[in-house]
Structure 1
């Protein structure tokens, strides 16, 4: 209720802002009050923090928190007074304000976009055209016309302008396909947006269909000239292909657009489940709802069968030849991981740039299932909003214990099975011909678990070891115990807790122990990992595969097959339960798990070789386990943290967690015994490297000198030399090339005496970098060439690629641009093969410099912009001075040559992932 009556407060924004309650119009005269109302209404009933309101209403004006609070109190008082008897729509909540109001004209646009897209997909263009025409008629003028001087309102208005433009374009597309003369409207649109290739393409098709082939070709030539003059770019591939179609009078120009082939991964595991029971009506209802673009959420409690139902719905949708994508959110612990997880599920590189545009493109026309979203609803809601805006004809199916609370969300509540369906499911899962319909014992068992599918499956799994009478007696006692309140089931449904507890109690002791121990894994595990962590202390390792099979058969364990092979994982509720059952043994099992992670880390220390991509993939699959082990060991066993993080430092650096890894090392070093050891010295040296490579050169030098002194005191020549190399790199970074030459040369002598070719290559690479910094360029080039041969002899791909980048800069400085390009491209291909992000950035920067030198400033600026943004994302700035000077100088010169056209180039580059650029260059001849 917003005041008297049952009508809600509505804001109308497609024109000057208007306020209504039912048929009554309200006058809100002051602009700031209208602005505040719009800002709150956009939050869909959620509270907006004071600081966010202040920032959007008053911009960069510096205000004390007390002053902000006072101004907002005055402003909300005025808004309430203007709303009169509907003032209760404005409410104070937490540290902000909320407005209970709708935006019906904006909501109608969302609905129109969804409906029209669905009608187009189902071959009903006339109805789609009517929907879009009706939507366009809702505009009363420019959206938020009276608030456009307010910065945040101007941004929102721009979104509505873009939506209006999109609707106009879609109307033209539909009218064109329906044979309606759209010449005048297309010409108006092209005049408004002369560089829009999509509009020009529609104009070309209209001219061609009117028999004006020459005019159609002239229109493309006019666009080509304008793009070259104003932006310095060529038409897109789509425009070029359209020109060829016109020239060859391609008959498809007279046909409707054919759907694009799917670029989504095959879901071979998505097969119908045997004896799917009790949810046929749910499947039919959901398939009907998902026949058009939109958002549907299956909402229900734990064990209700949300995921199983979603699988059956996806299978039914796929039978209609519609692409399907599936993303399981259960392993994720933070909202920040949602977008990368989706990217990974779609085969898009999640570690490079913003993956959502590419995800949206791949999802065009598809059904996306986001499974297990209840613990990340805010982040999932944000992802859904973004995808719905970016992707065409996309339907999204979410499974969650609670809805996302989005306006366009259709919620399908999933309750327990009806008694008859529950009994049938139990009988089928038991696979017993002796059980007849109407058996009272079956009804009793199903009722004891509230007719929830998970509880029924767990119960049926025990029939092979218990008689039906024994099972019925035990389940009844267990349920009565829980209802009596003697056990706290927390947030879990008590009947589900009862099913898990009872099933756990009746497991054989070895299976029970293995189940509990598996709970320490985050994100699942391989068979080898299960054997090492769950085996021992009374459990024979040779028995683990059989026990895992038993747990899987009892629905207590899931098995999946992916890029890392077969993985075993507990359902979330069962994992929580099993952790509780570990009790006092939990710390001991977690120590075993952490030691397993340390062993894994130790195997990856020699990175950069031919198996680098395999090492990277293995760590990526086990990242959740590594993080869980590190967080546990920080409090329990700090030296174990050093054993995990020190060998894997390169992985955290490559995947944008350089600050996190440095913090882990700092905390562990501070908590561990300060007694000098080789392990501690190595960890300090790695901390120095991470600190230096994050741009903190002074602190990096201090840590590097600590490591050097500790290795000296311990008499470890290898560590001594490695520390000197790190210090030499820091000296290069601060332009002290003489000191760098001294330190790196000393390190080279140490490694030469140790006959350690790999570390000798590292040291001489830094020697050559110091020579290059001193202006001894040709001498540096000769040494870099020799180091490349050394890397080749060692089959060290990372070392070779790094030295090739150094050699490319030498060639560039000597104005041998062909040599610079060849070396940089070779390095890029290696880095791409071994999935080393910072290396790809270095190579792309170098190629950008070559493009500028060869007279291609737009190409150069595009490459340099992508590289710069990726450095920011992974937190690894460029620290080598002549490399930094070359990169920044090239970007500045490219911007100077392009002038105002540079803005468009940079804007385009922001939307291009590093992986796309790397692939373009790597496959170029």
Structure 2
């Protein structure tokens, strides 16, 4: 399986839904539209099956797109500014640079032939439309299939409205047993009550139920769940009474979007009072969540924590909540339409603000736990956990950034997540949030100081050394004003990092040395001590002080082993490989560089991986295999572009790279070099890592 940041040629399209009733003609027409037009938007009311129809159509036409079919879900976004970021992330584009994300996306898609499915655009309509226009202009081989409750308004757009399923009576020549709505209800009913079948005893009631629900798939599915306790006739009688109250006796008096609301409302009323309250409170989550989060955020008042699990089980049984089993345990989520209904009830209860604050507090506590545990033996767990909680982290940050009174807490949350921004593959997103939060909190404070050195760290990871130095210097000045000695030292460390990347080795040596001496007596490993040791060792290596550099790295690796720290250990091992290469220990250097790559497979660390690949290309050249070196160079270059940086913006990396290229060309000749290099560029990220580690042969 490809790593989270790799370009997978088969795309990331979710598995095809096992259940899909009817709409064969509509799908055939949609497939033809996708072959004839560059932008097709599937429109329709909530619950009508837009996403399901788009996914089925995408699976059917996947063979027409050499670079695959890719899926981006915007339903969980609250901030339109995050649209481009969400699409980049869905495509596996790990660009962490400071470039505009729309530029990155347009450049990466430029020469590809693929279908991009963008789901749920209606709540970020303008931002989504602008991004799609940009993509279509820049990438002639890309086609877009969007879903939205309304058209995007983009030139050349082909809108395909998705109607509800046909109901008995729409086609007088059709047997009700083969009607689309009846078939869907029967399928869902059989899943709820094994052995259920539509027969002559219930066909009239089922047909009328389908007509009452206007053939809306979500409404039919919710009704089918009631068969656990009621007969079809009882369900129909209750629905008829409810609809009569809403719209009189005439079915046509009730618009279809109101039909869905009525069906959801009826399901809501049939829940126990405690289930209804939990439904409303769970709507505060963005995406999926775990039981612990539900207990801590939603309990209280009339909802004691000890009954939350039973209530969740009840909502799962009623198909209000969807559940999935992950490695970390069970997780739950509300369908988007049901979540919005729950949010409306939460507003009516007057609990929205309090629940958003409790939600934020839970994820703040989680971030602080992750920060404290990051340098320990569960580092891989925390990497996966924070990526899993990404949607809810965003929601918590959005809450803080919308309210000036929450701005300082927002800084605390953002800066506690430094390991997520730098080590988990979200540097660009972290920078966007940090800069917004710092603008909202201009007065010096300890929270602001921490956010500033985190911003400096993030900017360095992007290769923006000027911006990193600016943030570090501002942090140092503010820290002196508020008396924050820890922030002063961390700002010193970040200034040392920027100096190293800018090639000012003497300044870097002094500043990093100060940071190391300050932190040696403390227990804090990241982001002060360990990164400073590795960076100082690299600086010393560049100054040919190899014995001192290797001793530093030996101590660093030992400390990492004792604490169970892996992420920084991979960098220490890579830095060691450079020294081993310079001292003629080629076999040891290869082993170390490959060990660094092996560790990095646990993390979304494209930057660290391509740095190690650069070293392995140089080592292949040292071993006399210039063709292998050229292939690794090609693979590394593609992923430097994926990361969005020209060799990390550092003259050190650039010089080593150019020397390797020049020697490969001398040994192979221009034509043979270009062919080997081309083979490398055709590898995706996982293939490139496997090739550099000697696990597979070169791609053709």
The TM tier, using the shorter chain, reads 0.7 to 0.9
- Residues in 2 aligned to 1:434 and 1:852: alpha-carbon distance in whole angstroms: 71
- Mapped pair 1:416 → 2:184: no
Tell me which moved more, 329-338 or 862-871. 329-338
User: Tell me, which stretches of 5 or more residues in structure 1 are unaligned?
Assistant: 1-261, 318-323, 344-348
- Residues in 2 aligned to 1:410 and 1:870: alpha-carbon distance in whole angstroms: 36
Residues 132-163 of structure 1: CA deviation (Å, up to 9, x unaligned): xxxxxxxxxxxxxxxxxxxxxxxxxxxxxxxx
- Residues in 2 aligned to 1:785 and 1:660: alpha-carbon distance in whole angstroms: 34
Q: Does the aligned pair in 2 maintain the 1:735–1:773 contact within 8 Å?
A: no
Deviation of residue 843 (structure 1)?
0.6
- Mapped pair 1:911 → 2:682: yes
CA RMSD after TM alignment: 5.1
1:690 paired residue among 458, 467, 470: 458
Residue correspondence of structure 1 range 1-80 to structure 2 within 5 A? none
TM-aligned CA distance change 1:607 to 1:844, over 3 Å = farther
Deviation of residue 917 (structure 1)?
0.9
Residues 70-123 of structure 1: CA deviation (Å, up to 9, x unaligned): xxxxxxxxxxxxxxxxxxxxxxxxxxxxxxxxxxxxxxxxxxxxxxxxxxxxxx
- Residues in 2 aligned to 1:624 and 1:440: alpha-carbon distance in whole angstroms: 45
- Mapped pair 1:800 → 2:564: no
- Mapped pair 1:302 → 2:28: no
Residues 516-548 of structure 1: CA deviation (Å, up to 9, x unaligned): 222232222222222222222432222222222
- Residues in 1 aligned to 2:478 and 2:155: alpha-carbon distance in whole angstroms: 58
- Mapped pair 1:572 → 2:340: no
- Mapped pair 1:745 → 2:513: yes
Partner of 2:615: 846
Residue correspondence of structure 1 range 887-906 to structure 2 within 5 A? 887-895=657-665, 898-906=669-677
- Residues in 2 aligned to 1:881 and 1:423: alpha-carbon distance in whole angstroms: 68
2:652 paired residue among 882, 885, 890: 882
Deviation of residue 840 (structure 1)?
0.8
Residues 836-862 of structure 1: CA deviation (Å, up to 9, x unaligned): 222112111111222233444443343
Partner of 1:769: 538
- Mapped pair 1:551 → 2:551: no
TM-aligned CA distance change 1:556 to 1:325, over 3 Å = farther
Partner of 1:57: none
TM-aligned CA distance change 1:842 to 1:812, over 3 Å = same
SS of structure 1 residue aligned to 2:323: strand
2:293 paired residue among 508, 513, 529: 529
Partner of 2:356: 590
SS of structure 1 residue aligned to 2:576: helix
Partner of 2:436: 667
Deviation of residue 797 (structure 1)?
1.6
TM-aligned CA distance change 1:740 to 1:267, over 3 Å = closer
TM-aligned CA distance change 1:284 to 1:448, over 3 Å = closer
TM-aligned CA distance change 1:474 to 1:445, over 3 Å = farther
Partner of 1:612: 379
Partner of 1:634: 401
- Residues in 1 aligned to 2:134 and 2:470: alpha-carbon distance in whole angstroms: 43
TM-aligned CA distance change 1:916 to 1:498, over 3 Å = same
- Residues in 2 aligned to 1:342 and 1:482: alpha-carbon distance in whole angstroms: 46
Deviation of residue 907 (structure 1)?
4.4
- Residues in 2 aligned to 1:425 and 1:690: alpha-carbon distance in whole angstroms: 50
Q: Does the aligned pair in 2 maintain the 1:520–1:590 contact within 8 Å?
A: yes
Q: Does the aligned pair in 2 maintain the 1:735–1:881 contact within 8 Å?
A: yes
Deviation of residue 906 (structure 1)?
4.6
User: Tell me, which stretches of 5 or more residues in structure 2 are unaligned?
Assistant: 1-8, 62-67, 96-103, 169-175
- Mapped pair 1:860 → 2:624: no
1:625 paired residue among 381, 384, 392: 392
Partner of 1:731: 499
Deviation of residue 443 (structure 1)?
6.8
- Mapped pair 1:791 → 2:535: no
Q: Does the aligned pair in 2 maintain the 1:330–1:572 contact within 8 Å?
A: no
Q: Does the aligned pair in 2 maintain the 1:283–1:313 contact within 8 Å?
A: no
- Residues in 1 aligned to 2:663 and 2:307: alpha-carbon distance in whole angstroms: 67
Deviation of residue 502 (structure 1)?
4.0
- Residues in 1 aligned to 2:443 and 2:133: alpha-carbon distance in whole angstroms: 47
Q: Does the aligned pair in 2 maintain the 1:725–1:766 contact within 8 Å?
A: no
Q: Does the aligned pair in 1 maintain the 2:182–2:210 contact within 8 Å?
A: yes
- Mapped pair 1:510 → 2:281: no
Deviation of residue 426 (structure 1)?
6.6
Residue correspondence of structure 1 range 384-463 to structure 2 within 5 A? 414-419=163-168, 429=189, 437=201, 446-459=210-223, 461=225
Deviation of residue 827 (structure 1)?
1.2
- Residues in 2 aligned to 1:786 and 1:311: alpha-carbon distance in whole angstroms: 52
- Residues in 2 aligned to 1:465 and 1:629: alpha-carbon distance in whole angstroms: 41
Deviation of residue 690 (structure 1)?
1.5
- Mapped pair 1:599 → 2:365: yes
SS of structure 1 residue aligned to 2:344: helix
TM-aligned CA distance change 1:337 to 1:908, over 3 Å = farther
Q: Does the aligned pair in 1 maintain the 2:320–2:338 contact within 8 Å?
A: yes
- The size of the alignment, in residue pairs, is 631
SS of structure 2 residue aligned to 1:416: coil
- Residues in 2 aligned to 1:701 and 1:341: alpha-carbon distance in whole angstroms: 28
Q: Does the aligned pair in 2 maintain the 1:751–1:760 contact within 8 Å?
A: yes
- Residues in 2 aligned to 1:697 and 1:398: alpha-carbon distance in whole angstroms: 38
Residue correspondence of structure 1 range 362-381 to structure 2 within 5 A? none
- Which structure has more relative contact order (CA 8 Å, sep 6+)? It is 2
- Residues in 2 aligned to 1:673 and 1:310: alpha-carbon distance in whole angstroms: 46
TM-aligned CA distance change 1:791 to 1:298, over 3 Å = closer
Deviation of residue 436 (structure 1)?
8.4
- Residues in 2 aligned to 1:271 and 1:730: alpha-carbon distance in whole angstroms: 53
TM-aligned CA distance change 1:856 to 1:460, over 3 Å = closer
Q: Does the aligned pair in 2 maintain the 1:331–1:522 contact within 8 Å?
A: no
- Residues in 2 aligned to 1:372 and 1:287: alpha-carbon distance in whole angstroms: 22
SS of structure 1 residue aligned to 2:351: helix
Q: Does the aligned pair in 2 maintain the 1:448–1:476 contact within 8 Å?
A: no
- Residues in 1 aligned to 2:651 and 2:117: alpha-carbon distance in whole angstroms: 48
Tell me which moved more, 449-458 or 514-523. 449-458
- Residues in 1 aligned to 2:551 and 2:544: alpha-carbon distance in whole angstroms: 14
- Residues in 1 aligned to 2:591 and 2:142: alpha-carbon distance in whole angstroms: 38
- Residues in 2 aligned to 1:550 and 1:768: alpha-carbon distance in whole angstroms: 58
Deviation of residue 761 (structure 1)?
4.2
2:445 paired residue among 667, 672, 676: 676
- Mapped pair 1:500 → 2:261: no
TM-aligned CA distance change 1:356 to 1:530, over 3 Å = farther
SS of structure 1 residue aligned to 2:331: strand
Partner of 1:93: none
Q: Does the aligned pair in 1 maintain the 2:164–2:215 contact within 8 Å?
A: no
Deviation of residue 565 (structure 1)?
4.2
Residues 261-319 of structure 1: CA deviation (Å, up to 9, x unaligned): x999999996569xx8xx4xx4699699999x9799987643335677899999999xx
Could you tell me the TM-score, scaled by structure 1's length?
Answer: 0.57
Q: Does the aligned pair in 1 maintain the 2:492–2:512 contact within 8 Å?
A: yes
Residues 597-637 of structure 1: CA deviation (Å, up to 9, x unaligned): 22232232243654333322222222222222212211222
